[in-house]
A and B are shown apart, each in its own frame.
Chain A
Amino acid sequence: MALIMGMDIGSGTSKGVIVRNRKPIAYHLLPSGVDYRAVAQKLREELLAKAGLSIADIADTIATGHGAGNVAFSRHRVSDILCCARGITSIFPSVRTIIDVQRISTQVIRLNATGHVINFTINEKCATGSGCFLDIISHVLQIDLKDAGPLSLGSGNPVTFTTGCAVFGESEAISRVSEGASKEDILAGVHRALANKISTLVDRVGLEMDCAMSGGGGLNIGLVESVEKKLGFKLLVSEQPQFINAIGAAIMAENGVEMGGSLPEPGSTIIT
């Protein structure tokens, strides 16, 4: 099987993988910044260099994510929801429910036994339901986002956020800081608020086990534990959950070849 590059150009970070026979052989991640076209180009160059490959070694490149339409060297883009399904199924075939926590949205996806999507729901247009809320609060607390999860585990008294709005939530966090609440308690409160939102989405599509978390949210141990506590069971989380959609994009291309069609499998749109 030829090498396929999958690119997930997200609103926060851009992820690239090179896949052969459904297995990633190289990963790379860059901040997306404001120029999706430029970051896609740079991501490709650095990913190829990391893998010791050249452009000629790549049979096709498939793009997904918020900025997929800006990947000038990809002929197709695929829905991130389908990519997430394919990516997770390749790693955890037993999964029937996915919680995909991205920067600008959180989506819960139900799968059937063949790994195809049978239902999905996405949080409303509000940052409190997505990873963006963590970005905002990390900024208020002047910490690095990657430290938010471990720090929150030291909380003894999580702050209760009384709002469902990120703008008010930011104000509330500032108020709690001035009242003397610890960073640990504020972060734990944010995770709990997010877990409550996620739980509502899971209810809406209907839970079937196993359940996995993907996206950048899966890197946050505090969020994962909060969701587990809310839902009452352990989540499956891959080692690099933020790459799931990029892997899925490449797998869709491989599936298309196996089905005897042109790249990728149905469920794609042509970039014109």
Chain B
Amino acid sequence: MSEEKKKKAMNRLKTMYPLRANIDQAYERSVEATKAGKPTAWSMVNWWEADPILKAMDIEIVYPENYGAVCAAIGSAQKYLDRSDAEGFPTHMCGYARNCIGYTAEMTELGHIPSDAPMGGMSNPILLLSSGALCDARIKWFQSLGRYLDAPVWTVELPHPGVEESQMPGVREKSIQFMVKELRELVAFLERLTGRKMDWAKLEEITDDLIEINRIWYEINEFRKVRPCPMHSRDFWSCMNASLYPAGDPKVSLKLYRDMYDEVKDRVANKIGAVENEKYRMVFGELPPWHALKIFDELAERGWNFVVESWAYHAPKPIDYAKISDPLERVATQTYQWLTGYFPDALKEKEYMGYFAYPYLEWARTYQCDGALFHPLLTCRTATNHLILAQDRLLNKLHVPSLIAEGDIVDLKLFDYADTMRKAVVLEEMMDHYKKVRQEEGFEW
């Protein structure tokens, strides 16, 4: 297969490249900032709950989870994983955590950032900002870093109501009040830690920008419902971090997302697909094997276009924030909306399987998907425990078959490329069959 033909199979968005660069450059910017005496925090993804506060206080932020993905994609993760294992941490622990702990152990031993660290590395933090959102490993991971780093850990909490409970009177209001109280405590803590005062006007501006970023990002992804889908999951993953973490300068990100909106809109108008011959429209379940992204090129050559991916990495359904004047309440409301935004629909369909699994049903239907590829992560229970349930629901309710390809986000030893392809070609046969079944039963696609 010639290189020229491979490039044709997947048509990447041109506006993706500057957005990805904006994210990647955050690491080098933070290293430079640290050298200039500016504080840097290491932060987990907390779905906008705390990052706007740090940004408003002019604290540089880098993201160890994203850094795990970067190290895996570049092929540099193995030595950090090995180092974590050698330090006595379990091999079945979160791949992002293992990568981060191995990196930190090496940095601490050297007394400086490892010279071969991808993207310039992550510099010594003054704060470890943890999050109680979704994942148990994430709480203990940052505590474990206390063995190596002289930095306090702060955990922001997020209530996790069930589908039915979220709709009970007062649950939403009380949850948001709780989050706002938590955020006020975080502000007070940061003021003590840094000796700086919160710039409330700046926080308001950043919050407005992030809400707008997420609105545009949501609209971009709405465009992907058309045929052919104009944007592949590869582009989604390359760009999601400017919204999700959110990495990079929000003003710059906002401009770049607007550029992307224009490009995707133009593709829709001109019927330009992300894959030249879109044969199968696919859902991707969970995070991809960052170390083996070339598999998407091989699948694109077979006509697979990944048109939507896991709910957890998408922007929340837009709501009206105009009546909320307190920026902390706006932040909390947005995060809570992200967590519970799909619950009313799930409740209507009597699907109580929670925030992780239900959106697969809604999206497979609205994006008119032929199949799903699920990538359960051996080192992540949270990302994995719902996938078999989602697989059953997709097949039984929508006649959308799926494939489970086991692996890991960071540890390439846990992913079998050839075995995944062996099963993928069988899924094609299944998708052809169920397409006929859907047509016979009067489905729209």
Query: Are the chains A and B members of one assembly?
Result: yes
Q: Are the CB atoms of A79 and B426 closer together than 8 Å? A: yes
Q: Which residues of A contact B430 (CB under 8 A)?
A: 117-120
B401: interface (CB < 8 Å): yes
Footprint of B on A, CB under 8 Å?
A: 69, 78-82, 112, 116-120, 125, 266-270, 272
Q: Are the CB atoms of B421 and A118 closer together than 8 Å? A: no
B434: interface (CB < 8 Å): yes
Q: Are the CB atoms of A119 and B401 closer together than 8 Å? A: yes
Q: Are the CB atoms of A80 and B422 closer together than 8 Å? A: yes
- Convert B396-422 into 0s and 1s, putting 1 for each residue whose CB lies closer than 8 angstroms to a CB of A: 000001000010000000000010011
Q: Which residues of A contact B188 (CB under 8 A)?
A: none
Given A69-B418, A119-B401, A272-B1, do A81 and B433 touch, yes or no (CB 8 Å)? no
Q: What CA separation (Å) do A81 and B429 show in the bound complex?
A: 11
Q: Which residues of B contact A267 (CB under 8 A)?
A: 425-426, 428-429
Q: Which residues of A contact B428 (CB under 8 A)?
A: 266-267
Q: Are the CB atoms of B425 and A269 closer together than 8 Å? A: yes
Q: What CA separation (Å) do A272 and B432 show in the bound complex?
A: 27
Q: Which residues of A contact B1 (CB under 8 A)?
A: 270, 272
Shortest Cβ gap from A47 to chain B (Å): 24
Footprint of A on B, CB under 8 Å?
A: 1, 395, 401, 406, 418, 421-423, 425-426, 428-430, 432-434
- Secondary structure at the B interface, as helix, strand, loop or mixed, is helix
Determine the residue in chain A with the shortest Cβ distance to B422. Answer: A79
Q: Are the CB atoms of B418 and A82 closer together than 8 Å? A: no
| 7 additional A-B residue pairs with CB within 8 Å, beyond A116-B432, A117-B430, A118-B429 | A79-B423, A79-B426, A112-B433, A117-B433, A118-B430, A119-B401, A268-B425
Shortest Cβ gap from A81 to chain B (Å): 5
Shortest Cβ gap from B198 to chain A (Å): 51
Q: What CA separation (Å) do A267 and B422 show in the bound complex?
A: 9
Q: Are the CB atoms of B395 and A119 closer together than 8 Å? A: yes
Most chain B C-beta atoms within 10 Å of own C-beta, residue among A69, A78, A267: A267
Q: Which residues of B contact A119 (CB under 8 A)?
A: 395, 401, 430
Q: Are the CB atoms of A82 and B434 closer together than 8 Å? A: no
Determine the residue in chain A with the shortest Cβ distance to B388. Answer: A204
Q: What CA separation (Å) do A112 and B395 show in the bound complex?
A: 15
Determine the residue in chain B with the shortest Cβ distance to A124. Answer: B406
Q: Are the CB atoms of B401 and A82 closer together than 8 Å? A: no
Determine the residue in chain A with the shortest Cβ distance to B418. Answer: A69
Option from A69, A116, A269 in Cβ contact (under 8 Å) with B429? A116
Q: Are the CB atoms of B418 and A117 closer together than 8 Å? A: no
Q: What CA separation (Å) do A205 and B150 show in the bound complex?
A: 52
Q: What CA separation (Å) do A80 and B425 show in the bound complex?
A: 10
Q: Which residues of B contact A69 (CB under 8 A)?
A: 418
Q: What CA separation (Å) do A118 and B433 show in the bound complex?
A: 7
Shortest Cβ gap from A208 to chain B (Å): 13
Q: Which residues of A contact B425 (CB under 8 A)?
A: 78-79, 82, 266-269
7 A-B contact pairs sorted by A residue (CB < 8 Å): A116-B429, A117-B429, A117-B430, A119-B395, A266-B428, A267-B425, A269-B421
Q: What CA separation (Å) do A125 and B401 show in the bound complex?
A: 22
Determine the residue in chain A with the shortest Cβ distance to B395. Answer: A119
Determine the residue in chain A with the shortest Cβ distance to B434. Answer: A118
Option from A82, A112, A125, A270 in Cβ contact (under 8 Å) with B426? A82
Across chains A and B, which 10 residue pairs bring their CB atoms closest together, nearest first? A81-B426, A267-B425, A79-B422, A117-B429, A118-B433, A79-B425, A116-B429, A79-B426, A117-B426, A118-B430
Q: Which residues of A contact B421 (CB under 8 A)?
A: 269
Q: Which residues of B contact A78 (CB under 8 A)?
A: 425
Q: Which residues of B contact A112 (CB under 8 A)?
A: 433
Determine the residue in chain A with the shortest Cβ distance to B414. Answer: A125
Determine the residue in chain B with the shortest Cβ distance to A116. Answer: B429
Shortest Cβ gap from A147 to chain B (Å): 32
Shortest Cβ gap from B404 to chain A (Å): 9
Q: What CA separation (Å) do A69 and B416 show in the bound complex?
A: 14
Q: Which residues of A contact B433 (CB under 8 A)?
A: 112, 116-118
Q: Which residues of B contact A79 (CB under 8 A)?
A: 422-423, 425-426
Q: What CA separation (Å) do A82 and B425 show in the bound complex?
A: 8
Q: Are the CB atoms of A81 and B423 closer together than 8 Å? A: yes
Determine the residue in chain A with the shortest Cβ distance to B437. Answer: A118
Shortest Cβ gap from B377 to chain A (Å): 14
Q: What CA separation (Å) do A119 and B425 show in the bound complex?
A: 12
Determine the residue in chain A with the shortest Cβ distance to B421. Answer: A269
Determine the residue in chain A with the shortest Cβ distance to B396. Answer: A206
Q: What CA separation (Å) do A81 and B428 show in the bound complex?
A: 12
Q: Are the CB atoms of A81 and B422 closer together than 8 Å? A: yes
Q: What CA separation (Å) do A132 and B430 show in the bound complex?
A: 29
Shortest Cβ gap from A49 to chain B (Å): 31
Q: Are the CB atoms of B418 and A120 closer together than 8 Å? A: no
Q: What CA separation (Å) do A116 and B423 show in the bound complex?
A: 14
Determine the residue in chain B with the shortest Cβ distance to A78. Answer: B425
Q: Which residues of B contact A125 (CB under 8 A)?
A: 406
Q: What CA separation (Å) do A270 and B301 show in the bound complex?
A: 12
